[in-house]
């Protein structure tokens, strides 16, 4: 019998063909489509989570681009995620905002879920504000609280799912990017200062976030395990976006709106649901707009951005 010839890993071209990874050139096309249609050149990008899309609505002089019209973009399918890229001004500061994101449970691989972050980079964004709705695991958190993300646990990475899988393109970043400083310490301080200014310091916390694949909510056993390893809030997004952002050297600030309390009590028969997430987001939309606006104004001063 003829001995089977051992093969090495697939070439970059083969892998791109088989799994459809975006090339640098394809993402340039996405970015150029937007640059050709807007006059502003934002340095700040915002990702709006479930129930928090009203942040995009608060922009002035908006220009909206449905994802299906942008070359190579996937399409958001989740209720509460409008599915468009919005350019405009927040308190006079130029902003690029994702109104709706992409999730692993929608059937997209993580590299596709995170591709808009690279498009933001190519448009010229240097700082990313990522928001999400999350369940509170920390027993001191209440529904409606804000958790600034100080670190994350990449649970999906433990299972071999990572947005940086496949051939690395050095034009975006290094093959092995560090993640020990994924969330900018200075911006965390600004987040606390803004909370103090607004008189909401008692509902703003620093904590550890994790992303699970979804779409089902967590079992009690899963929640107990997550709490044991130090997780304060759990959701279904953000981590792969932050990994991609740090890979291409974006500076990141992220926070979770706590939309439900995760119970680790088997006798608690309350069930988490997406409608609750949307309702809490709606109730907090005014406060969140003010919170993000003040952080954006601080960034404007730090970066020396021109305002409208």
pLDDT in tens, 279-300: 888 899 999 999 999 999 999 9
Assigned token pair, 266: 């088997």
The Cα 69–Cα 51 span in angstroms is 23
Residue with tokens 């449905």: 66
Summarize the annotated binding site for a purine D-ribonucleoside as residue ranges.
Answer: 218, 260
Residues 6+ apart with CB under 8 A from 148: 183, 188, 191, 192, 204, 205, 206, 207, 253, 254, 255
The answer to whether 81 touches 87, Cβ cutoff 8 Å, is no
The answer to whether 207 touches 149, Cβ cutoff 8 Å, is yes
Per-residue pLDDT of the chain (308 residues; tens, 9 = 90+): 554 445 555 455 544 444 468 999 999 999 999 999 999 999 999 999 877 888 898 899 999 999 999 999 998 877 655 899 999 999 999 999 999 999 999 999 999 999 999 999 999 999 999 999 999 999 999 999 999 999 999 999 999 999 999 999 999 999 999 999 999 999 999 999 999 999 999 999 999 999 999 999 999 999 999 999 999 999 999 999 999 999 999 999 999 999 999 999 998 878 878 888 888 888 999 999 999 999 999 999 999 988 87
Which residues are annotated as catalytic? 50, 81, 103, 105-106, 133, 236-237, 260, 274
Summarize the annotated binding site for phosphate as residue ranges.
Answer: 50, 81, 101-103, 133, 237
Residues in a beta bridge with 254: 130
The Cα 294–Cα 303 span in angstroms is 14
Summarize the annotated binding site as residue ranges.
Answer: 50, 81, 101-103, 133, 218, 237, 260
Q: What rounded mean pLDDT belongs to the chain?
A: 92
Instruction: Supply the pLDDT for residue 15.
Output: 44
Instruction: Supply the pLDDT for residue 275.
Output: 85
């Amino acid at each position: 019998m003829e001995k089977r010839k051992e093969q090495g890993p697939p070439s970059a071209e083969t892998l791109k063909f088989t799994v459809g990874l975006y090339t640098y050139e394809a993402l340039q096309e996405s970015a150029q489509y937007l640059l050709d249609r807007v006059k502003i050149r934002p340095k700040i990008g915002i990702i709006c989570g479930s129930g928090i899309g009203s942040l995009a609505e608060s922009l002035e002089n908006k220009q909206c681009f449905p994802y299906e019209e942008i070359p190579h973009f996937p399409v958001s399918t989740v209720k509460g995620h409008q599915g468009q890229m919005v350019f405009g001004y927040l308190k006079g500061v130029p902003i690029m905002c994702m109104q709706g994101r992409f999730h692993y449970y929608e059937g997209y691989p993580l590299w596709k879920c995170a591709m808009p972050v690279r498009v933001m980079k190519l448009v010229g964004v240097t700082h990313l504000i990522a928001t999400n709705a999350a369940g509170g695991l920390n027993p001191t958190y209440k529904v409606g609280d804000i958790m600034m993300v100080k670190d994350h646990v990449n649970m999906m990475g433990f299972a071999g799912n990572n947005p940086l899988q496949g051939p690395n393109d050095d034009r975006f970043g290094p093959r092995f990017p560090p993640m020990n400083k994924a969330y900018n310490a200075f911006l965390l301080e600004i987040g606390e200062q803004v909370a103090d200014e607004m008189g909401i310091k008692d509902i703003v916390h620093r904590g550890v976030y994790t992303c699970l694949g979804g779409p089902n909510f967590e079992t009690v056993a899963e929640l107990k395990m997550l709490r044991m390893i130090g997780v304060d809030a759990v959701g279904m997004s953000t981590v792969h976006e932050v990994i991609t952002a740090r890979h291409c050297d974006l500076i990141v600030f992220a926070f979770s709106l706590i939309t439900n309390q995760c119970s680790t009590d088997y006798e608690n028969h309350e069930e988490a649901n997406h409608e609750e997430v949307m309702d809490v987001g709606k109730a907090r939309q005014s406060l969140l707009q003010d919170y993000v606006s003040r952080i954006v104004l601080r960034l404007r001063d730090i970066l020396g951005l021109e305002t409208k």
